[in-house]
Structure 1
Amino acid sequence: MYGEKVANARPDELNYDQYEKKKYDHDIVRVIPGHEEVHKQIPRLLLGINQKKPKILELGIGTGITADIILRRFPKAQYIGIDFSKNMLVGAQQRLEPYKPTLICADYATCKWPIENDVIVSVISIHHQETDRDKKKLFKKIYRHLAAGGIFIFGDLVTFEDKNTAAFNEALHFHHLVENASSRKNLTEWAFHHKYLNCLAPVEKQLQWLQQTGFEKVRLIYHRYNTVLIVANKGHL
């Protein structure tokens, strides 16, 4: 089902895979710095999409939090969401039932994707690609599967090239976890996840990789601690 292991963890190795949808949705908003702010930005980034039925592909759809925001804007979109966690997809199916998206249980790094997408989006997921090489390879795959003029909306956890900046933002991220975790168990789970399961790459390098891949315009839209939102535009032919 998963093919070659590119993500650094199986779904059953991630603490949230066994969560009920309600608990996951509550926790993810609280423990990821800037989660709400990132999602408030996304509708604005879609203003240039003129089609009533755009083709949208989401990598790591989870329980459908991001998809729900996008589908409110484009309820007739041809929406495909991929996630390697069956449990997460059950939550997504429940949340997105009115929109009837196509949900696929697979490792998005290795499975086939539809081509000519108007939008590809991934929020808090790509940092589980284990190496820089894996991330660069995924960016190239994203570029190939976007239509001319398409956009890649990329929200994720990152680090920084400057060690002082990296240490400062890492400390703020953990402070945010301490302030917002609902219990000691909850704090331990998410702190372990961030310290041992996340494979963060410097945001400066990732912006460069996107540019080298061929994206015409790459912008850092939002930053809070280890959380960023990037948008990359594929040029028109």
Structure 2
Amino acid sequence: MAKDFTSQQVVDGYDQHIRQLIPGYEVVHQQIQALLKTYLSESAHILVVGCGTGYELRYLLETFPDWQFTATDLSATMLEKARATIHDLNVEHRVQFVLGDVSDLKDKTGFDAALSILVTHFVPFSNKLLFLHAIQKRLKAQGLFLTFDLTEVSSEQEQHALKNIGESNGLTEAQTSAMLKRMSDDFYALSEQQTFDVLEQAGFSQIKRFTQILNYQGFMAFSK
């Protein structure tokens, strides 16, 4: 059964659960922060696709005080959690929250960068190209795109490695077994080569992988 991201219980437990599934989760975000700092100017407008609980939004707001953000999510529950996560920063004037898909945004927004972290693997195969192209056409020329997702799990050994790493981080055997069963319901994971191909088809160039944790891989690309 797929996870229900409209459930308050699921949303409240998300930040802890994701760290048990993906060790080095904070390191991934440190890399994202470093890449944004490297390629963007002191004043930038960032699109956060699927902002979730607001974890990445909060540290980016704190790190880059002159940046503006547009944060989207399909779940109203997640969006409210993100609002609560950043509430004490008093930066509401720097963030526009949008309940909906990227396609709900205006076509000519002109973002300097877009982030899709642990989001693209939930997009069905038949919609993935449209989803990525919707992001691409909302970026400025040479706008930076960063994505981090589960890629294709193609062997029992890779499944066991994911299970073992979850259990080493505090998940029970029942939880990791349920996680593996959910993969067929929750994830539409591409292989590494398929990821390169669909990003190129969506209008991105200079595509390369910037990080990997087992089957979780991060890719960076630039809008043509």
TM-score by length of 1: 0.81
Q: Structure 1 residues 203, 113: closer, same or farther in 2, change over 3 A?
A: farther
Cα deviation, residue 153, structure 1: 0.7
- Alignment partner of 1:83 is 2:73: yes
Quick check: 2:114–2:139 contact (8 Å CA) kept in 1? yes
| Match of residue 49, structure 1, among 37, 40, 46 | 40
Cα deviation, residue 119, structure 1: 0.8
Quick check: 1:153–1:229 contact (8 Å CA) kept in 2? yes
RMSD: 2.5
Q: How does 1:55-66 map to 2 (within 5 A)?
A: 55-66=45-56
Gaps of 5+ in 1: 1-8
Measured in 1, the distance between the counterparts of 2:6 and 2:105 equals: 26
150-159 vs 167-176, greater mean Cα deviation: 167-176
Quick check: 1:66–1:123 contact (8 Å CA) kept in 2? no
Q: Render the CA deviation track for 1:15-68: whole Å, top value 9, x for unaligned.
A: 68332655321111121344222112011111221132x111111100011212
- Alignment length (residue pairs): 218
Quick check: 2:150–2:217 contact (8 Å CA) kept in 1? yes
Q: What is the DSSP-based 3-state SS (H/G/I as helix, E as strand, rest coil) of the residue aligned with 1:206? A: helix
Q: Render the CA deviation track for 1:133-159: whole Å, top value 9, x for unaligned.
A: 311111211111100121001011111
**Correspondence for 1:92:** 82
**Correspondence for 1:72:** 62
Gaps of 5+ in 2: none
Q: What is the DSSP-based 3-state SS (H/G/I as helix, E as strand, rest coil) of the residue aligned with 1:62? A: coil
Which consecutive segments of 4 or more residues in structure 1 shift more than 6 A? Answer: none
| Match of residue 205, structure 1, among 194, 198, 202 | 194
Q: What is the DSSP-based 3-state SS (H/G/I as helix, E as strand, rest coil) of the residue aligned with 2:204? A: coil
TM-score by length of 2: 0.85
**Correspondence for 1:25:** 15
Quick check: 1:14–1:193 contact (8 Å CA) kept in 2? no
**Correspondence for 1:149:** 142
**Correspondence for 1:228:** 217
Cα deviation, residue 125, structure 1: 1.0
Quick check: 2:122–2:188 contact (8 Å CA) kept in 1? yes
- Alignment partner of 1:159 is 2:152: yes
Quick check: 2:130–2:202 contact (8 Å CA) kept in 1? no
Q: Render the CA deviation track for 1:181-236: whole Å, top value 9, x for unaligned.
A: 4456654654443343212111211112212333221110111112111110124x
